[in-house]
Amino acid sequence: MPPDRLATGVGSIDRLLGGGLETDSITELYGEGGSGKTLLCLEVAHRVAREGRWVLYVDTEGVSVDRLRSIAGDSLERILKRFLLSTPKNLEEEGRAVATACALAREGKRPVGLIVVDSATFYYRLSLSGADEDDARTALSLELAELVATALAAHVPVLVTNQVWRNLRDGTLEPLGGSFVNHVAKTILRFDRLPGARRRVTLVKHRSLPEGTAEFRITDSGLEG
């Protein structure tokens, strides 16, 4: 079965993506802090839950419910009934949360419309400076491999966010997690801040679409573009 598209609801981003996020694979959002990655995850999650499908949301930042309130308004309680939210406190808990989400999606008892891991590299980054760096790499690889397999098996889009590090050689911002994250993600969107509430999204990788850019604005009730 060819992949379907899940509209994000942000017009400019949906046009850039040829209709929306692909089911069956991972879409990676990377970019500097405050560039809008979490807000896009929540925007899509809100749409999916509003349509009655389940959102499996792994939130390492612990901010999602407050932000979701601005998007969902009075319908927050109804939207949350379709959310399975986990807030892991370390890389090990994150691995278990992702495994649970994947198992639920594959089990098929509930109609799952979206899996989100925001951020997939927060705890990974914290582990990099310690003695358990290899373990962190292994944990991230296993987590992503499981998400790839689940997207395909359950025909569900997977959104993961990724933070950046500054390459001191040329000053560029690079996604964390090295080539592995970039390899497993079939679609990669880079987020950049523009003045004020404006943000730019660049389609860096897609299996069938050319590179391109889109802009959107952050407003009090969500993203407009």
For residue 87, the minimal CB distance to ligand GTP (Å) is: 14
Q: How many whole angstroms separate alpha carbon 51 and alpha carbon 73?
A: 16
Report whether 177 contacts 121 (CB < 8 A): yes
Cα-based torsion angle of the residue sequence 55, 99, 29, 139 in order, rounded to the nearest 10 degrees: 160
One-letter identity of residue 43: E
Q: Which is nearer to ligand GTP, 37 or 186 (CB)?
A: 37
For residue 174, the minimal CB distance to ligand GTP (Å) is: 14
Q: Which is nearer to ligand GTP, 9 or 36 (CB)?
A: 36
Q: How many residues bind ligand GTP (CB under 6 A)?
A: 16
Q: Which is nearer to ligand GTP, 194 or 209 (CB)?
A: 194
Question: From the list Mg ion, ligand GTP, none, which binds 36 (C-beta under 5 to 8 Å, kind-based)?
Answer: ligand GTP
Q: Does 127 bind ligand GTP (CB under 6 A)?
A: no
Q: Which is nearer to ligand GTP, 58 or 154 (CB)?
A: 58
Question: From the list Mg ion, ligand GTP, none, which binds 102 (C-beta under 5 to 8 Å, kind-based)?
Answer: none
Report whether 79 contacts 49 (CB < 8 A): yes
15: tokens are 């046009």
Report whether 12 contacts 197 (CB < 8 A): no
Q: How many whole angstroms separate alpha carbon 3 and alpha carbon 125?
A: 32
For residue 31, the minimal CB distance to ligand GTP (Å) is: 6
Q: How many residues bind Mg ion (CB under 5 A)?
A: 2
- By CB under 6 A, the residues from 28 to 87 that bind ligand GTP are 31, 33-39, 61, 70
- By CB under 5 A, the residues from 29 to 48 that bind Mg ion are 37-38
DSSP 74: G
Span between the terminal Cα atoms of the chain, in Å: 31
Q: How many whole angstroms separate alpha carbon 159 and alpha carbon 40?
A: 10
Q: Which is nearer to ligand GTP, 68 or 154 (CB)?
A: 68
Q: Does 220 bind ligand GTP (CB under 6 A)?
A: yes
Q: Does 134 bind ligand GTP (CB under 6 A)?
A: no
- Alpha helices, DSSP H, located in 108-177: 122-127, 133-154
By CB under 5 A, name the binding residues for Mg ion.
37-38
